[in-house]
C-alpha cells in the first residue's frame, strides 16, 4: 500500500511553498516510509495541536482522529480545521459527536448532535472530508448501514418530475418537523406549491417551488426576512439522524420484538408506538436487533488512516463507556432493554479497527523504543511586541504559520512585518492567515513553527461573528415601515400601511371578573374622570421628566484618553459587531451635554457588562463617580467581582454595599463615597437609600431595571434627570421594549453570541428521581456542576437530602434568600470555587452567577414560573463551549 500525500492548497501558492518544504523534511519522509512499510507507527514527543498537524502532513487526508475524551472532540476539530485549511487539505474537517446522553438513561438524543452525525456520515459517503474527529463515546454508538441511510437521502433537481406530496412524505419519514415559518435545521413547511425546508448540512434554508408536478426552482432564503438569497440547480436533503428507522426496518423490528419479548407486559405499548411511527429514545438501541440494519461508524471510512491521541486513554474510555452503559441499564431495570453488548459496538471492535493498518499512535512520552520521536516545544509568547516577533522571524529560516483570530489583526500584523522589511505571503516562508488554534508550537526537526493569536497578542478568548441572517433585522422591519408601503397580512392579504394607532383593549387585568355598573349610578362617569386624571398626571410627569432631561445640561465627557484605550485593550474578548456598535452609541451619548438614557438589550452572557464597564471607565477618567444598581445580592456580588478584576490594573476603587457586608463595612464605604474616595459603587436597592450620597455622581448603570419595585423606580426617575443612565436587560418589559423600538428611548441590541456558544438543550419532563439522578451523573461525568432550582424555602432542605441520596458522590450545597448572610455567602462561594457539585437554590440565582463549569439545570415545578424568569434561570448554564442542558420538571 502507498501512503497518501498532502496536496498543496488550491487557492494559495504561499501555502504550497511552506507545505512543500515541510512535507519533504527527512523526519516526515521517514514517517511516511515506516507507515507504509509497517502499517502502524508510534509517534512520541508531540503535544497540543502538533499532534494533529504531523499526522496530517505525514499520512495526509482522509484522517480519522480518535480522542480519549468526548469533551476534547470539538476543540480538536476546531484546531485541525484551521491547520488543514492552512496546509491546503481538500475537503472539510468535522466533529463526530456523541449523540447525547449515555445509552439506557431514558433521555432523548440531542437533536443537533444527531443532525451533525447524519451530516458527517453523508459527507464521508460522498468523499467530501479531510478528517473526522471522534471519541469512543461517539464511535461506539452504531449508525444505520450506508444502504439504508442512502434511502432517505433525497436528491431534488430543477426541472425534475416530483410532487410536493411525495417529497413531504419522504421528509416526514426522514424525521423533519412541520414548522411554519421554517427557522431551524430539520424543519419543513408547505404553502401550496411552495415547500420550505432547512437541510441540516446547510447554512440557510431552501425554498422549493413547484409548477404542477415539476420542480420549478430551488432558492436559498433568509429565515428572518424570508427573502431569497441565491439560486440552486440541485439539492440533497439528508435525514436528521444517523440512527433512524425506515418503514421496512420498523416492520422487521416489530416482528423481532414480538418473538423475543413475548409475554412482557410493556411490549404491546412499544409495538403500538412503533406501528404509528412514534419511536422513542429507545429506538437507536433497539435497531441492533434487526440483522444488517446497523454498522460501526468507521464502516463509512474505509481505508482511512487512524490517528489515536493517547491510545491508553482511548482504550480506557472505551471500556469505561461500556461500564457506564451497563450501570445505567441495571439501574433502569427495563425488561425491554437489550444487553449492552447487543445495543452498542463492542470496545474490542474499536481496538481491532485501530490495530488494522494504517494507524498512528501518538503519545507524549516515549514508551516504545520502536517509535519515531518528533520533538515539540512551545513558542515564545510576544504579548503584543510585534517588533520582537519581526526580529525573531528575520533571524530564522524556519517556515512560520501565524494564525490570528480576526482579519483585522492579520492585516495589521502583515503591515508591521512588511514595514520591518520582511516578505509575507506568496513564495515566502511566512504565512499569516485568519484562524484559531489552542496554542502555538514549534517542530524543530520538521521544521515548522505555528503561532496562535494568544502567542502574538495578549492572551484572549475570541468571539466569532454570527453568520449573517440579518443581524439588524430585530429593529429594521419596524423602523423601515413607512406610511403608504404595501404590506401582506397573513389572514387578509395585500394591504397598505396607513400608520400606527394607539387603541385601548379592556380595562381590567386579564382573568379578573369585571364589575358590572348599575344603571343611573354615575359610577362609570366617575371612573372615566379618575382614569383621565391619572393619565393626564402620568403624561405630565413623563413630559416634565423628559423636558427636564433635555433642558438641564448634563456633563459632556471628554474624548478617549490613553488609559481608556489601554483599558479597552485589556478586554479578554474581541468585540462583536453588535457589541462594538453599542459601545460607540454609549460613548457618543456620553460626549453630549444632555444626560444619556440608553437601554442595552442582549441575551445573557453576550457582553452587556463590558459595555457598562467601558462607560464606567470613561466616567472615572473624568473624575466622576459611578453607581451600579443590581436587583439581587447575588448579582451585585458578581458585578463587584467582575468590576474589581477588570479595573485591577488601574487606580480605580470599586466597592459594594449589600447584605454580604457588615454594617461597619457599609458605613465606612458610604463615608468614603460621600468624600469622593470611591470611584465605582455597586449595590442593590440599598444604593437608593437616603443615607447614600455621592460627591459627584456622573453615571448610573441599572441592571435588569424591570426587577425593581415601584418605590425604587420613583427614586430612579429623579436620578435619571441629572446623570447619564445606562440600563442593561436581557428581558425588558414590553413598555420599555416598545419605547426602544419606536425610537422614543435610545436602545442598542447585542445579538452576537460568544465563540463556541451552543444552544441549550431544553427538555420538559415529569418530575422523576430517575431523571434527576441521570442528569446529575451525566454532568458530573464530564467534570461539571449542576443547578437545581426549587422555589420553596420550607422544603428546599428535603429536596437537597433527596439529591444527596440519589447521587451520594455529589457534594450538595443549599442557597436561599432567608439564610444568614455569612452562610449564604459561604454556600455561593463553595459553588463558585468548585467545592460543591450541585447547588439546590431558590430563584436567588436567577441573575448574576457566571460559572462556566455549571452546564446542567433542573427546575422543579417549572409551570409555576413566568417566561422571562425561566429565560433568566436557563441563562445561568451554557456559558462555555460545552453543550448545556435544562430540564423543566412539571
**pLDDT at 106 (0 to 100):** 65
- Our count of domains for the chain comes to 5
Q: Same domain, yes or no, for 781 and 675?
A: no
pLDDT above 60 (res 556): yes
Phi, psi of 671, deg, nearest 5:
-65, -45
Q: Of 137, 153, 156, nearest to 145 (Cα)?
A: 153
Q: What would the grid cell of residue 464 be?
A: 466569532
Q: Same domain, yes or no, for 327 and 442?
A: no
Q: Same domain, yes or no, for 206 and 131?
A: no
Query: Exposed (0-12), middle (13-18) or buried (19+): which is 316, by Cβ within 10 Å?
Result: middle
**pLDDT at 466 (0 to 100):** 39
Q: Is residue 465 part of a domain?
A: no
Q: Is residue 768 part of a domain?
A: yes
Query: Exposed (0-12), middle (13-18) or buried (19+): which is 837, by Cβ within 10 Å?
Result: buried
List pLDDT tens digits, range 334-347. 787 788 888 888 99
pTM higher than 0.75 for the full model? Answer: no
pLDDT bucket at 5, cuts 50 / 70 / 90: very low
Of 308, 340, 373, the one marking the end of a domain is 373
Average pLDDT in the chain = 82
pLDDT above 50 (res 124): yes
pLDDT bucket at 148, cuts 50 / 70 / 90: confident
Of 373, 399, 418, the one marking the end of a domain is 373
Average pLDDT of the segment spanning 82-103: 85
Q: Same domain, yes or no, for 220 and 71?
A: no
Average pLDDT of the segment spanning 96-105: 80
Average pLDDT of the segment spanning 6-35: 67
Q: Same domain, yes or no, for 569 and 693?
A: yes
- How many Å apart are CA 542 and CA 536, to the nearest integer? 10
- How many Å apart are CA 848 and CA 82, to the nearest integer? 35
pLDDT bucket at 830, cuts 50 / 70 / 90: confident
pLDDT above 90 (res 100): no
CB 625 within 8 A of CB 669: no
Q: Is residue 8 part of a domain?
A: no
Give residue 419's region: left, alpha or beta (phi > 0; psi -120 to 50). Answer: alpha
**pLDDT at 14 (0 to 100):** 39
Which one is predicted more confidently, 504 or 618?
A: 618
Which one is predicted more confidently, 560 or 127?
A: 127
Q: Is residue 293 part of a domain?
A: yes
Average pLDDT of the segment spanning 92-109: 81
Average pLDDT of the segment spanning 723-727: 88
pLDDT bucket at 838, cuts 50 / 70 / 90: very high
Q: Is residue 345 part of a domain?
A: yes
**pLDDT at 131 (0 to 100):** 92
CA quadruple 434, 438, 444, 446: dihedral sign: negative
pLDDT above 50 (res 844): yes
pLDDT bucket at 759, cuts 50 / 70 / 90: confident
Which one is predicted more confidently, 652 or 558?
A: 652
pLDDT above 60 (res 558): yes
Which one is predicted more confidently, 297 or 406?
A: 297
Comparing 361-375, 460-474, 621-635, which segment has the lowest mean pLDDT?
Answer: 460-474
Q: Same domain, yes or no, for 594 and 708?
A: yes
Concatenated DSSP letters of 446-471: TTEEEE-HHHHSS-----PPPP-S-T
pLDDT bucket at 220, cuts 50 / 70 / 90: very high
List pLDDT tens digits, range 238-259. 888 888 777 788 888 888 888 8
Q: What would the grid cell of residue 761 be?
A: 438543550
CB 472 within 8 A of CB 582: no
Q: Output the 3-class SS for 165-223.
A: HHHHHHHHHCCCEECCCCCCCCEEEEECCEEEECCCCCCCCEEEEEECCEEEEEEEECC
Query: Exposed (0-12), middle (13-18) or buried (19+): which is 472, by Cβ within 10 Å?
Result: middle
CB 377 within 8 A of CB 444: yes
- 646-673 burial, b at 16+ Cβ within 10 Å, e below that, comes to bbeeeebbbbbbbbbbeeeebeebbeeb
pLDDT bucket at 514, cuts 50 / 70 / 90: low
- How many Å apart are CA 52 and CA 309, to the nearest integer? 9
Q: Same domain, yes or no, for 34 and 65?
A: yes
Comparing 5-14, 515-524, 725-734, which segment has the lowest mean pLDDT?
Answer: 5-14
**CA-CA-CA-CA dihedral for 399, 405, 407, 410, to nearest 10:** -40
CA quadruple 213, 217, 220, 225: dihedral sign: negative
Q: Of 291, 289, 269, nearest to 280 (Cα)?
A: 269
**pLDDT at 847 (0 to 100):** 65
Q: Of 463, 706, 440, 511, nearest to 599 (Cα)?
A: 706
Average pLDDT of the segment spanning 55-60: 87
List pLDDT tens digits, range 802-827. 999 999 889 999 998 888 877 887 88
Pair type for strands 214-221 and 206-211? antiparallel
**Cis status, amide bond into 468, omega within 30 of 0:** no
Query: Which residue has 450545597 as its cell numbers?
Result: 813
Query: Which residue has 502532513 as its cell numbers?
Result: 57
Q: Same domain, yes or no, for 573 and 659?
A: yes
**pLDDT at 1 (0 to 100):** 36
- Residue 816: give its domain's CATH number: 3.40.50.300
Q: Same domain, yes or no, for 419 and 566?
A: no
Say how many Å lie between the first and final Cα of the chain, rounded.
60
Beta-strand ranges (E) seen in 515-645 are: 597-602, 625-629
Looking at the chain, the whole-number percentage of residues with pLDDT higher than 70 is: 86
**pLDDT at 547 (0 to 100):** 66
Comparing 295-309, 432-446, 491-505, 683-697, which segment has the lowest mean pLDDT?
Answer: 491-505
CB 225 within 8 A of CB 488: no
**pLDDT at 510 (0 to 100):** 45
Q: What would the grid cell of residue 527 be?
A: 371612573
List pLDDT tens digits, range 258-313. 888 887 887 888 787 777 766 666 777 788 888 888 899 899 888 899 999 988 89
Residue 742 DSSP SS3: coil
Which whole-number Å values give the CA distances from 76 to 97, 426, 486, in the listed order?
A: 12, 28, 51
Q: Is residue 812 part of a domain?
A: yes
Of 148-157, 475-484, 727-736, give the range with the top mean pLDDT. Answer: 148-157
- Residue 112: give its domain's CATH number: 3.40.50.11180
Q: Same domain, yes or no, for 810 and 830?
A: yes
Instruction: Give the DSSP H/E element, type plus range, for residue 388.
Output: helix 386-394
- How many Å apart are CA 207 and CA 224, to the nearest integer? 14
- How many Å apart are CA 700 and CA 667, to the nearest integer? 21
Comparing 144-148, 331-335, 594-598, 858-862, which segment has the lowest mean pLDDT?
Answer: 331-335
List pLDDT tens digits, range 461-485. 443 333 444 334 444 444 456 777 7
Average pLDDT of the segment spanning 716-729: 77
**pLDDT at 487 (0 to 100):** 79
Q: Same domain, yes or no, for 712 and 813?
A: no
Of 409, 427, 456, the one marking the end of a domain is 456
pLDDT above 70 (res 459): no
pLDDT above 90 (res 134): yes
H helices present in 648-766, as ranges: 663-674, 710-720, 734-741
Q: Is residue 533 part of a domain?
A: no
Average pLDDT of the segment spanning 3-22: 49
Q: Is residue 554 part of a domain?
A: no
Average pLDDT of the segment spanning 188-196: 90
Q: Of 890, 886, 782, nearest to 837 (Cα)?
A: 782
- Residue 169: give its domain's CATH number: 3.30.2060.10
- How many Å apart are CA 646 and CA 649, to the nearest integer? 8
Comparing 188-202, 394-408, 541-555, which segment has the lowest mean pLDDT?
Answer: 541-555
Comparing 220-229, 539-548, 868-877, which segment has the lowest mean pLDDT?
Answer: 539-548
Q: Same domain, yes or no, for 643 and 708?
A: yes
Q: Which domain holds residue 404?
A: 386-456
List pLDDT tens digits, range 680-714. 999 988 888 888 889 999 999 998 877 776 567 66
Query: Which residue has 444632555 as its cell numbers?
Result: 594
**pLDDT at 613 (0 to 100):** 94
**pLDDT at 205 (0 to 100):** 92
pLDDT above 70 (res 395): yes
pLDDT above 90 (res 527): no
Amino acid at each position: 500500500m502507498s501512503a497518501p500525500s498532502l496536496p498543496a492548497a488550491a487557492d494559495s501558492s504561499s501555502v504550497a511553498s511552506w507545505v512543500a518544504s515541510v512535507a519533504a523534511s527527512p523526519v516526515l519522509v521517514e514517517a511516511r516510509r515506516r507507515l507504509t512499510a509497517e502499517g502502524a507507527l508510534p509517534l512520541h514527543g508531540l503535544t497540543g495541536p502538533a499532534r494533529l498537524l504531523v499526522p496530517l502532513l505525514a499520512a495526509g487526508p482522509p484522517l480519522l482522529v480518535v480522542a480519549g475524551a468526548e469533551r476534547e472532540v470539538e476543540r480538536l476539530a476546531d484546531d485541525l480545521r484551521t491547520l488543514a485549511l492552512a496546509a491546503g487539505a481538500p475537503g472539510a474537517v468535522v466533529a463526530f459527536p456523541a449523540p447525547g446522553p449515555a445509552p439506557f438513561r431514558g433521555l432523548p438524543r440531542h437533536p443537533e448532535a444527531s443532525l451533525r452525525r447524519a451530516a458527517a456520515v453523508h459527507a464521508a459517503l460522498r468523499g467530501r472530508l479531510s478528517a473526522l474527529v471522534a471519541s469512543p463515546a461517539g464511535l461506539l454508538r452504531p449508525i444505520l448501514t450506508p444502504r439504508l441511510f442512502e434511502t432517505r437521502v433525497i436528491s431534488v433537481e430543477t426541472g425534475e418530475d416530483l410532487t410536493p406530496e411525495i417529497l413531504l412524505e419522504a421528509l416526514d419519514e426522514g424525521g423533519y418537523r412541520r414548522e411554519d415559518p421554517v427557522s431551524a435545521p430539520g424543519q419543513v413547511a408547505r404553502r401550496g406549491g411552495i415547500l420550505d425546508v432547512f437541510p441540516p448540512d446547510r447554512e440557510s434554508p431552501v425554498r422549493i417551488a413547484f409548477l404542477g408536478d415539476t420542480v420549478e426552482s430551488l432558492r436559498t432564503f433568509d429565515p428572518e426576512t424570508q427573502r431569497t438569497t441565491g439560486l440552486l440547480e440541485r439539492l440533497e436533503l439528508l435525514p436528521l439522524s444517523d440512527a433512524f428507522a425506515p418503514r421496512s426496518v420498523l416492520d422487521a423490528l416489530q416482528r423481532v420484538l414480538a418473538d423475543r419479548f413475548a409475554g412482557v407486559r410493556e411490549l404491546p405499548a412499544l409495538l403500538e408506538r412503533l406501528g404509528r411511527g412514534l419511536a422513542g429514545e429507545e429506538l437507536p438501541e433497539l435497531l441492533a436487533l434487526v440483522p444488517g440494519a446497523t454498522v460501526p461508524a468507521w464502516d463509512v471510512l474505509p481505508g482511512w488512516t487512524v490517528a489515536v491521541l493517547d491510545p491508553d486513554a482511548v482504550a480506557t474510555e472505551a471500556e469505561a463507556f461500556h461500564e457506564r452503559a451497563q450501570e445505567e441499564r441495571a439501574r433502569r431495570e427495563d425488561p425491554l432493554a437489550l444487553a449492552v453488548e447487543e445495543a452498542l459496538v463492542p470496545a474490542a471492535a474499536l481496538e481491532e479497527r485501530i490495530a488494522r493498518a494504517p494507524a498512528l499512535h501518538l503519545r507524549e512520552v516515549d514508551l516504545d523504543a520502536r517509535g519515531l520521536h518528533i520533538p515539540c516545544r512551545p513558542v515564545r509568547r510576544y504579548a503584543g511586541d510585534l517588533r520582537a516577533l519581526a526580529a525573531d522571524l528575520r533571524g530564522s529560516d524556519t517556515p512560520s504559520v501565524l494564525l490570528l483570530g480576526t482579519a483585522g489583526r492579520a492585516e495589521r500584523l502583515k503591515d508591521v512585518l512588511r514595514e520591518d522589511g520582511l516578505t509575507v505571503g506568496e513564495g515566502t516562508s511566512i504565512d499569516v492567515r485568519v484562524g484559531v488554534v489552542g496554542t502555538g508550537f514549534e517542530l524543530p526537526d520538521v521544521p515548522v513553527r505555528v503561532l496562535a493569536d494568544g502567542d502574538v497578542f495578549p492572551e484572549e478568548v475570541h468571539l466569532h461573528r454570527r453568520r449573517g441572517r440579518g443581524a439588524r433585522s430585530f429593529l429594521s422591519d419596524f423602523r423601515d415601515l413607512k406610511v403608504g408601503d404595501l404590506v401582506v397580512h397573513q389572514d387578509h392579504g395585500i394591504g397598505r400601511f396607513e400608520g400606527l394607532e394607539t387603541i385601548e383593549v379592556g380595562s381590567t387585568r386579564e382573568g379578573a371578573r369585571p364589575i358590572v355598573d348599575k344603571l343611573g349610578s354615575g359610577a362609570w362617569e366617575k371612573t372615566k374622570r379618575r382614569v383621565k386624571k391619572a393619565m393626564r398626571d402620568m403624561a405630565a410627569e413623563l413630559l416634565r421628566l423628559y423636558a427636564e432631561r433635555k433642558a438641564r445640561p448634563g456633563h459632556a465627557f471628554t474624548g478617549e484618553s490613553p488609559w481608556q484605550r489601554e483599558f479597552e485593550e485589556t478586554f479578554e474578548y474581541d468585540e462583536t459587531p453588535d457589541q462594538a456598535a453599542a459601545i460607540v452609541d454609549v460613548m457618543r451619548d456620553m460626549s453630549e451635554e444632555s444626560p444619556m438614557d440608553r437601554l442595552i438589550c442582549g441575551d445573557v452572557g453576550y457582553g452587556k457588562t463590558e459595555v457598562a464597564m467601558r462607560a464606567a471607565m470613561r466616567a472615572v477618567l473624568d473624575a466622576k463617580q459611578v453607581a451600579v444598581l443590581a436587583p439581587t445580592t447575588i448579582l451585585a456580588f458578581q458585578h463587584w467581582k467582575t468590576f474589581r478584576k477588570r479595573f485591577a490594573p488601574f487606580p480605580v476603587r470599586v466597592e459594594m454595599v449589600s447584605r454580604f457586608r457588615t454594617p461597619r463595612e457599609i458605613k465606612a464605604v458610604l463615608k468614603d463615597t460621600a468624600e469622593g474616595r470611591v470611584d465605582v459603587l455597586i449595590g442593590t436597592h440599598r444604593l437608593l437609600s437616603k443615607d447614600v450620597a455621592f460627591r459627584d455622581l456622573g453615571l448610573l448603570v441599572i441592571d435588569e431595571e424591570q426587577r425593581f419595585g415601584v418605590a425604587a423606580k420613583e427614586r430612579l426617575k429623579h436620578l435619571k434627570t441629572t446623570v447619564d443612565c445606562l440600563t442593561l436587560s436581557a428581558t425588558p418589559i414590553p413598555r420599555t421594549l416598545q419605547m426602544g423600538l419606536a425610537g422614543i428611548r435610545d436602545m442598542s441590541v447585542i445579538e452576537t453570541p460568544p465563540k463556541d456558544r451552543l444552544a441549550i438543550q431544553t427538555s420538559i419532563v415529569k418530575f422523576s428521581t430517575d431523571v434527576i439522578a441521570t442528569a446529575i451523573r451525566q454532568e458530573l461525568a464530564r467534570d461539571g456542576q449542576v443547578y437545581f432550582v426549587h422555589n420553596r424555602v420550607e422544603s428546599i432542605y428535603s429536596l437537597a437530602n433527596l439529591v444527596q441520596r440519589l447521587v451520594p458522590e455529589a457534594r450538595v450545597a443549599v442557597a436561599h434568600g432567608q439564610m444568614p448572610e455569612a452562610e449564604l455567602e459561604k454556600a455561593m462561594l463553595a459553588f463558585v470555587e468548585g467545592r460543591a457539585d450541585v447547588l439546590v437554590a431558590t430563584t436567588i440565582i436567577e441573575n448574576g452567577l457566571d460559572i462556566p463549569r455549571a452546564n446542567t439545570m433542573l427546575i422543579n415545578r417549572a409551570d409555576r414560573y413566568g417566561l422571562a424568569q425561566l429565560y433568566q434561570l436557563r441563562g445561568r448554564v451554557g456559558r462555555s463551549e460545552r453543550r448545556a442542558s435544562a430540564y423543566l420538571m412539571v
